[in-house]
Structure 1
């Protein structure tokens, strides 16, 4: 019981960090695209 709760928590944290990473990557990509459009 305790172990499954820990597993769920770690999985949730991993998912959150992955989502944050994807968001930052998207923002980075968008900034690059904007720079190219300005040139």
Structure 2
């Protein structure tokens, strides 16, 4: 069975893109909850 390095790269790139989007959303949500000037 031959292994396709480009196939592995494409799969890894897709996984990293998905994780980057999730991380961006989480960071935006966390940052929106920050209160930089508490009373």
Q: TM-score, normalised by structure 1?
A: 0.73
Count, aligned residues: 34
Segments of 4+ moved more than 4 angstroms = none
Larger helix percent:
1
Using the TM superposition, give the Cα deviation of residue 5 of structure 1 relative to its aligned residue in structure 2, in angstroms: 6.8
What residue ranges of structure 2 are gaps of 5+ in the alignment?
Answer: none
- State how far apart, in whole Å, the 2-side matches of 1:14 and 1:35 are: 32
Query: CA RMSD for the aligned pairs?
Result: 1.9
